[in-house]
């Protein structure tokens, strides 16, 4: 398995790269891995890569390789909650008119100390 792919989400090409540690962990994994690039709109914009157990029904997804699916999901909250003492508000889909304008250009996935991590570039 190579460590670089190009996939298309919402008509935009996304470069996906797995570190050698991530490729080895994926090969040893007994079930598929889902990498979800979450773009969170609230009072601030936050980018994070999540590794959920299942694909969210509203996410834009593409199968990268056997055992790896990459998704993009823009989300928002109705209220701004910066204070860490405040309970996290419920996420909901962010209704973007042109999702291709927000789909990331690049995703890098790594695996260290039995933990998946990722970062993406808009």
> Which residue matches tokens 């701004």?
80
Q: Of 76, 114, 109, which Cα lies nearest the Cα of 95?
A: 76
Class of domain 4-78+88-121: mainly beta
103 with 12: CB under 8 angstroms? yes
Domain residue extents for the chain: 4-78+88-121
Digit-coded pLDDT (tens) for 24-51: 999 999 899 999 999 887 777 778 999 9
This prediction has a pTM of 0.82
Q: Of 114, 103, 89, which Cα lies nearest the Cα of 47?
A: 103
56 with 71: CB under 8 angstroms? yes
Report residue 104 CA to chain centroid gap.
9
Position 121 confidence tier, pLDDT thresholds 50, 70, 90: very high
């Amino acid at each position: 398995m190579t460590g670089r792919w190009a996939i298309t989400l919402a008509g935009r090409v996304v470069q996906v790269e797995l570190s050698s540690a991530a490729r080895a962990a994926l090969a040893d994994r007994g079930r598929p891995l889902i990498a979800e690039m979450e773009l969170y709109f609230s009072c601030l914009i936050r980018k994070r890569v999540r590794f959920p157990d299942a694909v969210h029904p509203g996410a834009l997804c593409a199968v990268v390789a056997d055992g790896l699916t990459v998704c993009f999901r823009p989300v928002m909250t109705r209220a701004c909650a910066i204070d860490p003492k405040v309970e996290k508000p419920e996420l909901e889909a962010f209704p973007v008119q042109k999702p291709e304008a927000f789909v990331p250009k690049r995703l890098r996935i790594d695996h260290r100390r039995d933990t998946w991590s990722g970062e993406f570039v808009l």
